[in-house]
Amino acid sequence: MYEVKYVIVEGSAIVFSAAIQHRDMVGYNKKCEGAGFVRFRVSKDSYGEDVITSHCYGESISLGIKSRPEEDSKIVTHQITNPF
């Protein structure tokens, strides 16, 4: 499984390559609420449809910010699966 990084900036998730530092994804004067790594899982619901969920963990050394696993996972999952 591949690891990717994420940051939560002003309530929105940005998911990006592990080759990029967290601090390079946060704009000047922007508030970063959470940062770390994210894994995606696919499971089946009761109708046999794929359901994607995220699991956020860890921390950003370059920003000095820890992940908020439960809250950040909800934000990332909602943002990547919400069609609107």
Q: 50-80, pLDDT tens digit by residue? A: 888 999 999 999 999 999 999 999 999 999 8
Task: Give the tokens for residue 26.
Answer: 């946060």
Task: Give the tokens for residue 48.
Answer: 């046999």
Distance CA 37, CA 35 (A): 7
Q: What percent of the chain stands above pLDDT 70?
A: 95
- pTM equals 0.87
Cβ-contact 53, 80 below 8 angstroms: no
